[in-house]
């Protein structure tokens, strides 16, 4: 009886020490699920979800926010999030129209060089200087729409990205067929 008590107490102490040490040594910084969620998000930093960037939204999802708030990610992202979080997929809050990848375009003859769009761009994809024409780096633009609102002369528009030979997706039925 006494041996058993002593033994169990010893075991409890040993394991307690081991676990305590492990908890300190292998402590995980932050919530790892946030990183996983963030990896799924499209990183447009557009704020359409209501959060100031993709990371804050990822944190919100980890804390129970709905997974259907990301229009740039589309339903594919939503489904992946549903998988990851183990929740039911929900219809997106956005329409299909907003899910087409777009890129900002500055009509350069109208630009007055106010730099307001440069300040609004979350990914520094607009180059230009005060009183000089601005232009969008199409390769860096995430199509977040944030530069459109601040423009005082409304010279920014969002153009859908066109397919070219390299990005063509082999949708053969989309080809217009001409008779010879």
Partner 1 sequence: MSLTASTEHTVLWPLTGGIHPPEMKLLSNTTPIQRLLPANEYFLPLPQVGETAVLAIKQGQRVLKGQPLTRGISAMYLAVHAPTSGTIAAIEPRPSNHPSALPVLTCVLQSDGLDEAVSFTAASEPLSHEQILQRIRDAGIAGMGGAMFPSHIKLNPASKIKRLIINGVECEPYITADDRLMREYASDILNGVALMQQLLQPETTTIAIEDNKPEAAQAMRQALAASTLPQCSIQVIPTKYPSGGEKQLIQILTGQEVPSGAIPAHLGIVVQNVGTAFAIQQAVYQGVPLLERVITVTGSNIEKPGNYWVSVGTPIRHILEQTGFKATPDSKVIVGGPMMGYTLSTVDVPVLKGSNCLLLPQAQELADAPQERSCIRCGECAQVCPVSLLPQQLYWHAKAAEYDKAENFHLQDCIECGCCSYVCPSDIPLVQYYRVAKAAIRKTREEKLHAEHAKMRFEARSLRMEQEKLEREAKAREAAEKRKSAMSGNEKDAVAAALARVKAKQAAQGAVEESPAPTTADSKATIAAAVSGIKAQNQETSGSNVTNQEDKKAAIAAAIARAKAKKIAATPTLTETLTASAPAQAADKKAKVAAAIASAKAKRTQAADTPNTEAQLSAPNATDKQAMIAAAVAKAKARKAAVENTSAEVDNAAVTVEASSAPTTLTESTTDAAQKARIAAAVAKAKAKKASSATATEAPEKTTAASTIAAAAKQHTEGNMPETVNTDGDTHASVSLSDDKKARVVAAVAKAKQKARERAREQENN
Interface residue list for partner 1 (CB under 8 A): 41-45, 53-54, 122-125, 140, 142, 163-165, 167-172, 175-180
Instruction: State the minimum distance, in angstroms, from the CB of residue 167 to partner 1.
Output: 7
For the CB of residue 3, give the shortest distance to partner 1 in the complex, in Å: 55
**C-alpha distance across the termini of the chain, in Å:** 98
- Nearest Cα neighbor of 37 from 70, 15, 9 is 70
Residue 155 CA to residue 86 CA, distance in Å, equals: 44
Please give the Cα distance from 174 to 16 (Å, whole number).
66
Residue 63 or 119: the one with the smaller Cβ distance to partner 1 is 119
Nearer to partner 1, 111 or 126 (CB): 126
Question: CB burial class (10 A; 0-12, 13-18, 19+) of residue 60?
Answer: middle
Q: Decide whether 79 or 112 has the Cβ nearer to partner 1.
A: 79
Query: 75 vs 93, which CB is nearer to partner 1?
Result: 75
Q: How far is the CB of 65 from partner 1 (least distance, A)?
A: 19
Q: Which residues pair with 159 in a beta bridge?
A: 103
Q: Closer CB to partner 1, residue 34 or residue 41?
A: 41
Would you say 128 and 113 are in contact if contact means Cβ atoms under 8 Å apart? Answer: yes
Q: In angstroms, give the least distance from the CB of 75 to partner 1.
A: 12
**In the complex, minimum distance from the CB of residue 144 to partner 1, in angstroms, rounded to a whole number:** 9
d(CA 50, CA 114) in angstroms, rounded, equals 27
Asked whether the beta carbons of 63 and 51 are under 8 A apart, the reply is no
């Amino acid at each position: 009886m006494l041996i058993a008590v002593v033994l169990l107490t010893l075991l409890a102490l040993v394991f307690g020490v081991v676990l305590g040490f492990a908890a300190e040594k292998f402590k995980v910084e932050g919530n790892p699920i946030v990183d996983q969620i963030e990896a799924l998000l499209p990183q447009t930093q557009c704020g359409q979800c209501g959060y100031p960037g993709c990371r804050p939204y990822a944190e919100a999802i980890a804390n129970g926010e709905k997974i259907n708030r990301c229009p740039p990610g589309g339903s594919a992202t939503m489904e992946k999030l549903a998988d990851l979080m183990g929740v039911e997929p929900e219809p997106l809050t956005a329409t299909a129209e907003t899910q087409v990848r777009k890129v900002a375009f500055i009509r350069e003859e109208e630009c007055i060089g106010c730099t307001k769009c440069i300040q609004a761009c979350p990914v520094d994809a607009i180059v230009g200087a005060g009183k000089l024409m601005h232009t969008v780096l199409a390769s860096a633009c995430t199509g977040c729409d944030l530069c459109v609102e601040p423009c005082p002369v409304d010279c920014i528009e969002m153009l859908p990205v066109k397919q070219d030979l390299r990005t063509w997706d082999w949708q053969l039925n989309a080809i217009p067929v001409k008779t010879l």
